[in-house]
A and B are shown apart, each in its own frame.
Chain A
């Protein structure tokens, strides 16, 4: 066991737990009801999801058709399945299957 690595892991892990749990336990959302902080927190969720989607898809957006086409078919499958079923699970799985199939067909 690498003790240096374990020390870093414990420090980062304790901080992670603090970031995730303490604001809930401190009831920060109740302090925020009605005020500017409330509006800020309400917008945080959609902003976070939009940010994470853009950050995850950005590296794949290249002029290289072999990398771009699976992303386009995967994205189209997510959109189509969402419109048809309104299910996050099915839309996600359909996107991954379409992406993988496109890679397989292009190989």
Chain B
């Protein structure tokens, strides 16, 4: 009668006992990393976004109360819209008396670029990637969450929906919490800590640069160069929102030409 193979943990333990302690410790640590629950892994990966979002959301909360809206209004905007630039624009439009439909249409147009994120992410994730709960986790697919998820796939990590939930939830919670704290605390809270304020303010550019480095490869260089140059030109001539949309589209079109 054939003897069944020992469990994986036993085989790993036996294998590790045959090599030197330092190498064994390193393998154990890597095995633990691999077995960390994907949701927790996603939450940990959201840390730079959490730290970057909080001060921006804080300043949004402050701006909302200064514009005459209540803390509940600020909370509702962050909870229901969950898109930074749009929310600041909503304050400006509504406090200047813009009609509801005009304001809503302007905000919707600002976020049109998000249409591309889901398909681009799922294409990198592969055809076997689960999407059963995408109706829920896709709500958290902001610029930064998309970039972080794509960077993880580029570094060889497997796509998982719990990871996306962890990544998205960390960022969303930070955004909503930052708004509420900002709305209640008022404008002076971070002004006494200019270095901390500046460091937190640099978190998102630093994150985008790190993500860019993580996906950088020779075939992507023309795409990245075209996107960057068109963003600069578009921002200088037409403004930041148009610059972002044009840069993204120009880079993606450059991807069509490169083969």
Contact = CB atoms under 8 A, between A and B. Distances in A.
B254 A55 contact: no
Interface in B106-141: 107-108, 111-124, 127, 131, 134-135, 138-141
Interface residues of B, number: 99
A43 interface: yes
Contacts of A70: 198, 202
A89 B215 contact: no
Contacts of B244: 51-52, 55
A48 B100 contact: no
Contacts of B108: 11-12, 15-16
A92 B143 contact: no
20 contacts: A1-B76, A8-B93, A9-B90, A15-B107, A27-B122, A43-B220, A48-B120, A48-B143, A49-B208, A50-B228, A52-B147, A71-B205, A75-B206, A82-B214, A86-B214, A91-B210, A96-B202, A97-B199, A99-B198, A104-B195
Interface of A: 1-2, 4-13, 15-17, 19-25, 27-30, 32-33, 36, 38-58, 60, 70-71, 74-75, 77-79, 82, 86, 88-89, 91-97, 99-101, 103-104, 107
